[in-house]
Amino acid sequence: MFLRVVQSRDLVLRGHGVQVDDGTLLVNLGFGIGLHRAIRAASLTDDDFAPSELAMELLFLHEANRGVLTELSRFNAQLAQSHELAVLQAQTDALTGLQNRRGLEVALSMLLRTADSTDEVAQPFAIAHLDLDHFKQVNDQLGHQAGDDLLRAVGAVLRAHIRKADTAARVGGDEFVLILRGMTSKPALLHLAERIIAAIKALSPPELIDLQVTASLGILVWHPGGSDQPEQILAMADKALYLSKGAGRGCATIL
């Protein structure tokens, strides 16, 4: 006898039927080699079977296989999480929690690749190079702990003044870089720079003798068709920064 399950056409019961003396028909059916499919499709357990050797063996194999797949899935999830954490740590500045130089390079390269894609509309952006004025005197007069505290506070200021889609990075010492997506308005950029400069000026330790920590910024506005080399873009922002330094510090220059 062959019986096919209507709701699951790939499941077939096979067996024999025997008529006894009183006319009763005894039928013995089983899934045979299709047992593993039946277990999976109908969520069968050992309670659904007589303890025959084949059924119990297949149930054991099915449970073992499910256990292995569950552990493999969990391991893959942990591996992916560990990889993501390692990448994040490799691109994060440990002191400020901002991106580090590597993180900045990745963000800038990705932005330029998107701009170079024929499938997407190129998005202009501004890149700002910020340097703290008189930061060396903080370390010299107040110690490196005071310098580290100031750098952490500057990092918090930058995070507070940019949007979620923007990037803030500490690229070394007292130097920071901002990537501001879609910002091309010079008045808006100058207003943002003035607010950042004022906020950093307010962080200057009062214990400094005859000096005040300020910030100088150099800003480059990038448009589609501009250089696609991150090094050249950063060099132009650096050039703008030195123009601000030469203009007396504590100000911003836009190229």
**Residues annotated as part of the active site:** 174
Question: Tokens standing for 62?
Answer: 């099915």
CB 106 within 8 A of CB 92: no
Paired with 100 in beta bridges are none
Separation between Cα atoms, residue 61 and residue 37, nearest integer Å: 12
